[in-house]
Amino acid sequence: DIQMTQSPSSLSASVGDRVTIACRASQTISMCLNWYQQKPGKAPNLLIYAASSLQSGVPSRFSGSGSGTDFTLTISSLQPEDFATYYCQQSNSTLYTFGQGTKVEIK
Amino acid sequence: QLQVQESGPGLVKPSEILSLTCSVSGASISSYYWNWIRQPPGKGHEWIGSISNRGSTNYNPSLKSRVTISADTSKNQFSLKMISMTAADTAVYYCARAVRRWLPTGTSGGYYSYMDVWGKGTTVTVSS
């Protein structure tokens, strides 16, 4: 299995802050990396696919970068509705695996 | 607009069989890939398996011996059957569509998959 490791596991930030979340794969996955946002009691919501492509309808303050084994999700200016947990997921292998999540909390 | 909706029992006894159905509206299951994912309480997501538009299946090796995914194109539904349920299978179960598309990334482009539409999830508790 390809292991996905996110860091940090949680962070506290204020509205307007720039936030960066890292995701590392245990082996190279090209750009086969997706990012999801999940709020309590809700299903995951796709933000970024193929490492850097913004899903339709997602605000442009979200961006993704990286390739190979190291990836980053950036929120350029944190908004109140962005407080949630973020997950990376690899699709390079037919066995999809997810990171353990990064919880973004209000400072 | 594409919607997917899980249905099934909220409570299953240990050793029994879980059967869940995902109803799809706004798209045909004869296209795309259709997935089951679960999330135990307070934990991360585990991909269970998928069925393709051609009916081929792919399972998580850790669950493969207990899981069957099938599709009913006449009802535009796909289903999950999991045998020998234990308390460790208590989780929210989601169905989701996966898109596979070619993108002009890097030097030559490539195919990428992502799950773009998810159901709201259904909570399954395994308890006697």
Q: Which of B6, B35, B45 to mutate to test the interface with A (most CBs of A within 10 A)?
A: B45
pLDDT beyond 80 at B49: yes
Contact yes or no for B106 and A31 at CB 8 A: yes
Q: Give me the pLDDT at residue B57, please.
A: 97
Per this entry, what is the length of chain B?
Answer: 128
pLDDT for residue B58: 96
- The answer to which of A41-45, A81-85, B86-90, B104-108 has the lowest mean pLDDT is B104-108
The rounded mean pLDDT for chain B is 95
CB-based contact B120 A42, cutoff 8 Å: yes
Give the pLDDT of residue B89.
98
For position B106, what pLDDT does the model report?
A: 72
Q: Looking at A8-98, list the stretches that DSSP marks H as alpha helix, in order from N- to C-terminal side.
A: none
A28 CB neighbours in chain B (<8 A) are: none
Q: Which residues share a beta bridge with B45? A: none
Whether residue B109 is predicted with pLDDT greater than 90 in this model: the reply is: no
CB of B119 less than 8 A from some CB of A: yes
Q: Tell me the two tokens of residue A81.
A: 């509705």
CA atoms within 13 A on the CB side of B115: 29
DSSP state string for B58-110: EE-TTTTTTEEEEEETTTTEEEEEE-S--GGG-EEEEEEEEEEEEE--TTT-E
Backbone angles phi, psi at A81, to 5 degrees: -80, -5
Mean pLDDT to the nearest integer, B58-65: 96
What pLDDT, on the 0 to 100 scale, is given for residue A21?
98
- Note whether B93 and B124 are within 8 A (CB): yes
pLDDT at residue B52 tops 90: yes
**Res. B110: pLDDT tops 90:** no
**CA B89/CA A101 separation, integer angstroms:** 20
Closest to A80 measured CA to CA, from A42, A107, A102: A107
Contact between A50 and B105 using a beta-carbon 8 Å cutoff? yes
- 3-class SS at A67? strand
Contact B115, B22 (CB under 8 A): no
Residue B108 has pLDDT above 80, yes or no: no
Q: What is the pLDDT of residue A107?
A: 87
pLDDT of A80 strictly over 80 = yes
Task: Examine the pLDDT at B96 and tell me if it is beyond 80.
Answer: yes
Bond into B41 cis (ω within 30): no
The stretch A47-60 carries a mean pLDDT of 97
Compute the nearest-CA separation of A88 from chain B (Å).
10
Percent of chain B with pLDDT over 90: 88
pLDDT at A25: 98
- Residues A84-95 pLDDT 10s: 999 999 999 999
**How far apart are alpha carbons B70 and A14 in whole angstroms?**
46
Give chain A's mean pLDDT: 96
pLDDT computed for residue B107 by the predictor:
74
Q: B114 vs A42: CB contact, 8 Å cut-off?
A: no
Whether A64 shows a pLDDT value over 80: the answer reads yes
Closest C-alpha among A100, A99, A102 to residue A74: A102
